[in-house]
Amino acid sequence: SFRGTTFTVSNAASIVSQGVEFEGGFALNPQWTLGGSVAYLDSEFDDYKNAPCTINQTAVQGAGCLQDLSGKTGPNAPEWSAFAYAAYEQAIWKNLVLRFNASAAYKDEYFLDGDLDENTLQNSYIKFNANVAIASGENSWEISLYGRNLTDETTYTFTTDAPLSAGIYGGWIEEPRIIGLQGRYNF
């Protein structure tokens, strides 16, 4: 955990992470395929009495501050996550194929930092992606128009306390809405 000016490395005496995931796909007909997955994760510190404090706790209690995270959810562990997609492929003219793919990905809220600071909580979100392409029948080339994160959800891969600045946080933002044109040629 980052404590403003230094990193503190500590180990929880006990953490249990367990869950279940279901995944499947189904071909409706030769053109349409549907699929998805859903996962449940229960990740909890059983015993973590010597956990590092958040930057705000450290500012109040001093450099030796510790907190008890026993019974709390572990970091980077969304309780629920899910993914669903629909794909379509159809020959449209002589040696051309039309492809379409749309997907949605969901993640429940989760902490992005090991000290479980409320300011590093990533809210739950859904991201939508889509792709439409024209390709050669023998798959030697493809031109596609794609969109990722179409609803422009702001999400982070990591968030932490800013050095020497209680109440200020820094983070790495995942890509915003991206729309692009892409070409591929196999030779």
Helix (H, G, I), strand (E, B) or coil at 60: helix
- Please give the DSSP secondary-structure letter assigned to residue 164: T
Provide the pLDDT for residue 54: 84
| pLDDT of res. 38 | 98
pLDDT at 6: 67
Return the SS3 of 4.
coil
Is residue 118 helix, strand or coil?
helix
Backbone angles phi, psi at 120, to 5 degrees: -110, 20
Within the chain, what is the greatest distance between any pair of CA atoms?
73
* Cβ-contact 118, 73 below 8 angstroms: no
CA-based nearest residue to 178, from 111, 131, 121? 131
Rounded to two decimals, what is the model's pTM?
0.86
User: What residues of the chain score a pLDDT lower than 70?
Assistant: 1-8, 163-164, 166
Residues across the chain? 187
Taking the C-alpha atoms of residue 120 and residue 110, their distance in angstroms, rounded to an integer, is 8
SS3 56: helix
pLDDT number for residue 151: 96
Residue type, 136: S
Task: Yes or no: say if 86 and 101 are a contact pair by the CB < 8 Å rule.
Answer: yes
CB atoms within 10 A of CB 25: 11
